[in-house]
Homo-oligomer: A and B are copies of this chain.
Amino acid sequence: MPDKKIFKLHAEVCKALAHALRIEVIDLLQGGESCFTDILEETGGLKSNLSQHLSIMVKCGILKVRKDSRCNYYSLSSSKVAKACSLMREVLIENLKKEQKLHKELLK
């Protein structure tokens, strides 16, 4: 049995992707770094909430922060995160298409 610890760690990192707001943030940051206030403007919602999610993502290591005196700039820690995320999006789209096809079949 190969050490199961790695699976747990791996899952921890993947949990960073498991929330709509966090996905939205990743999507946003594909375009480059962005500061807290700008992210909030895009996503909407409460500051405290966004702050919590961003800190989760930083802890998981999928985001980096750069702080200057006026604000905190967030960015993806690696383009691999964006890539993984968009692969999963493709999987989703493929599944939606399959479902749609199935519905059409049923209505024939």
Contacts and interface: CB of A to CB of B under 8 A. Distances in A.
Nearest to A21: B7
Interface residues of A, number: 39
Contacts of A32: none
A28 to B, nearest CB: 10
Binding site secondary structure of chain A: helix
Given A7-B21, A7-B27, A14-B23, A78 B92 contact: no
Contacts of A92: 9-10, 13, 61
A20 interface: yes
Nearest to A27: B7
Contacts of A46: none
Contacts of A4: 20, 24
A89 B62 CA distance: 11
- Which of A9, A15, A22, A91 has the most C-beta atoms of chain B within 10 angstroms of its own C-beta? A91
